[in-house]
Structure formats: C-alpha cells, structure tokens
Amino acid sequence: MSSRLEAEHLYKVFGRRPGDAVTRLEQGADRDELRDDGTTAAVIDASFSVEPGEIFVVMGLSGSGKSTLLRMLNGLLEPTAGHVRFDGQDMTALGDRELRALRANKISMVFQHFALFPHRSVRENAAYGLSVQGVPRAERERRADEALALCGLAGWEDSWPDELSGGMQQRVGLARALATDADLLLMDESFSALDPLIRRDMQDQLLELQKTLKKTIVFITHDLNEAMRLGDRIAVMRDGRIVQTGTAEDILVRPVDDYVASFTKDVDRSRVLTTGAVMDPETRGDEADCDCPTVTPDTPFTELCALSARLSHPVAVLSEDGELVGVVRRQRLVGFLGDRQGAPEPCGNPSVPAHVDGKVTARA
C-alpha cells in the first residue's frame, strides 16, 4: 500500500433517513434541496488519498464540512456511505473496540481550543494517550517529557494548563498527540484560535518538527495562507464537496472555478509562487548565453524579483541539469503579483499608462 490514508466517496448526512439522502445526492440532488427536508448533508462524495509523510490540508469556510470530514477519518463519526482506508485497512468495517485501539495507537488529534484536561498537569496531559494505551507510569512520563521538550516546553511539565498562554497550551496539545507515536496526526483548526504572531511560530515549529518526524498529517484550516504555508497538497471544500485538490501552486495559478479563485485573491502570492509557475516556457534558446545569474524552477518568487530588478533582460530559467526551460520577463512578474496575466494591451490614450487602472494600483 502506498497511501497511508484513503477516503473513497465519503458521505455524511445528518437527519432522518440518511441513506435515502445519499441516493438522492448521487443522483444529483444538491444540498439545499435536502435541507428543505430537514436533513443536512455535511460531506458529499469526498475522495482523496494522503501519502506517508505528507501534510494534507483541507481548506474551507465554516460549514463547508471539513471538521465532519476529519472526524470520519478517525472514526469519531461513522460515514453514512463510503470508505476510509488506513494503511489499507477499511476503518468502516471495524468494531468499536478495534476502532478505539486504532485511535489509541495510530491516530492522534490536535484540537482547535486545545481540549487540555484542566484537572491534569501538563505532564499528565501529554501522557494521556499513553495512559490509555496502558503504558506504565514511569515510561509514559519519560515519553511525555520528551514530547514536551520536542515542542519547546521543557521545564513546564509540572505546571497546569490554565497557567499557560494559548500558544503554550497548544504546544501541550501537540505534545500529547506526538507522545503516542501515532503515524497519523489529525489537526482540527489547531492554530486558528491563536494570535497571528503565535500562529506563525506554531506553523514554523510544525514544519520544523515535520522535517525530522515525517508524520502523516491531515490539517484542517479556513485560512488559505496557512494552507499554502503548511500543505504539500490542499483540498478546497465548498458546501460539503471537495472542489479542487492540488498543490498550493495548482490552487493559486490554476483554480478550477471562480469560487476557488476568489479565495486566492487575498493570498500573499509572492510567498507561494515559484519560478516554475511564473516562467514563460517559450524561449528563443539564447537567453542563458550571457554570464548573468540564472534561476531554477524552484527558486522562490521573491528571489526571482530581486534578480530581475538587477538584470536588464529577462531572467533565464535553467533546469537542474543546466538546460534552458524558460524565461521570466519583468512585466510578467508584475502581472502575476497582480493576478493579471497575458500579453500587454495597446495603449489608447498616451497620457494614461496602460495596465494602471484603479484596481491594479490598489492591489500593488
């Protein structure tokens, strides 16, 4: 099995006769029709797979069904239809007891509001999953302390959750999830309740930890910036359906519809785009013949801009084996930053520079 986690045509319907509702949805009924009958379709026909070591982000606004989707992945909610496979094992076929064992050993979860047990110390909180597994006290405390240290909380083991700041509390939540050595980490809006600066710290720390731990992570968020920072791949949900799955660049550069495109408007493109997405693959063939610096398709957008500003001609893009794969003109860079791509238009009024209509100015 290559995929760690697979979701196949998952449905979750709340209300009366959910089975009928699924049939109607399969026949093309939409969510609003069902709502009139008093049933709520939270997740409709969701399919995706998550590879080992990957951070898979599910992005959507509130009510889009992303939290419901997440809870089907560890069996807290039973899918109305469809299958979840974890390491090839169909979770929907498991009994309560086996499901609990799976959750205790293989799948951890980090919550939006931390969900720390107020009557347990930081160490006891971090050791919670291990105590459910039945690990002896001495060992679970050692492993809890290790997990806390990993999350930057060494020295806080004997404190109580309410003595900690929000960011630190969520580190405890993360340590609790990591302490069990679970392969799969489910993170439900885990950083959404934190201040922007703390959130950024936590994102950095998660990425840092991921470099060494290589967990498989499904991360839920409503913040596309966060999704793009963290996600190897992103699934965008709308009204219970996954409307697009792809890399950050896919979402940004090739949105499937206006809805996804409207999301990307507020994204700081310069942090997401790489040269590969921006370059013009049509080359004359001699752009790299001077001694000027060149870039690779992986070069971040900001570096590309800095280089482009120093050169008098378009920047050449070379592949890893030194082959010319594309060029980047300065005009094209500015266009991407402003979400306007294509050829320059002819200027009708010489006193007004082309391309500088109000909208673009405002965004620049």
Taking residue 351's Cβ as centre, other Cβ atoms within 10 Å add up to 5
With binding defined as CB under 8 A, does residue 308 bind another protein? no
Contacts of 281 by beta carbon, 8 Å cutoff, 6+ apart: 325, 326
With binding defined as CB under 8 A, does residue 245 bind another protein? no
Query: Closer CB to another protein, residue 180 or residue 203?
Result: 180
With binding defined as CB under 8 A, does residue 128 bind another protein? yes
With binding defined as CB under 8 A, does residue 313 bind another protein? no
CB of 137 to another protein, least distance (A): 15
With binding defined as CB under 8 A, does residue 315 bind another protein? no
Residues 300/228, Cβ–Cβ less than 8 Å: no
Query: Closer CB to another protein, residue 189 or residue 287?
Result: 189
Query: Closer CB to another protein, residue 134 or residue 344?
Result: 134
Give the interface segment with another protein, choosing from 118-126, 146-154, 238-246, 293-301 (CB under 8 A): 118-126
Binds another protein (CB under 8 A): choice among 63, 160, 205, 239:
160
Residue 78: closest CA among 65, 67, 69 = 69
With binding defined as CB under 8 A, does residue 62 bind another protein? no
Binds another protein (CB under 8 A): choice among 14, 49, 53, 111:
111
With binding defined as CB under 8 A, does residue 129 bind another protein? yes
With binding defined as CB under 8 A, does residue 94 bind another protein? no
Give the interface segment with another protein, choosing from 3-11, 101-109, 199-207, 303-311 (CB under 8 A): 101-109
Query: Closer CB to another protein, residue 193 or residue 334?
Result: 193
What is the footprint of another protein within residues 164-193 (CB under 8 A)?
Answer: 176, 180, 186
3-state secondary structure the chain: CCCCEEEEEEEEEECCCHHHHHHHHHCCCCHHHHHHCCCEEEEEEEEEEECCCCEEEEECCCCCCHHHHHHHHCCCCCCCEEEEEECCEEHHHCCHHHHHHHHHHCEEEECCCCCCCCCCCHHHHHCHHHHHHCCCHHHHHHHHHHHHHHCCCCCCCCCCHHHCCHHHHHHHHHHHHHHCCCCEEEEECCCCCCCHHHHHHHHHHHHHHHHHHCCEEEEEECCHHHHHHHCCEEEEEECCEEEEEECHHHHHHCCCCHHHHHHHCCCCHHHHCEHHHHCECCCCCCCCCCCCCCECCCCEHHHHHHHHHHCCCCEEEECCCCCEEEEECHHHHHHHHCCCCCCCCCCCCCCCCCCCCHHHHHHC
Give the interface segment with another protein, choosing from 28-36, 128-136, 223-231, 243-251 (CB under 8 A): 128-136
Binds another protein (CB under 8 A): choice among 39, 64, 68, 74:
74
Q: What is the x/- site pattern for another protein, positions 202-241, by CB under 8 A? A: ----------------------------------------
With binding defined as CB under 8 A, does residue 115 bind another protein? yes
Query: Closer CB to another protein, residue 174 or residue 224?
Result: 174
Query: Closer CB to another protein, residue 40 or residue 180?
Result: 180
Residues of this chain that interact with another protein (CB under 8 A) are 74, 76, 100-105, 107-109, 111-113, 115, 117-120, 128-129, 132-133, 160, 176, 180, 186
